[in-house]
Amino acid sequence: MNQQVPDYQAVMLNELSYRKSSNPAYSLRSFARDLGLSPSRLSEILTRKGDLSPEKAGPVAIMLGLRNKEVNLFR
């Protein structure tokens, strides 16, 4: 059975969903603030209209508290 490996957008969407389920007032704007991104840039990344720059990928992965295996998705 072939299991698909999640990409960084999927990891970010899952984290946003988790945070929203834990706090219904949590928004895309809140998530962008927490990641050090503008809301419009985060929206572009999550909808696959843009990519996360290599310069931002590492800091975003760290801010998400990802493990080493997951951090590699951001490279």
CA 28 from centroid of its chain's CA atoms: 11
Distance of CA 54 to CAs 9, 57, 59, 70, Å?
A: 14, 5, 9, 15
Assess whether pLDDT exceeds 90 at residue 63. Answer: no
69 pLDDT higher than 80: no
Residue that the structure tokens 């706090």 belong to: 23
Tell me the pLDDT band of 52, cut-offs 50, 70 and 90. Answer: confident
DSSP state of 49: S
Task: Using pLDDT thresholds of 50, 70 and 90, give the confidence band for residue 2.
Answer: very low
pLDDT at position 58, please?
A: 81
Q: Per residue in 7-44, pLDDT tens?
A: 888 889 999 999 999 999 999 999 999 999 999 999 99
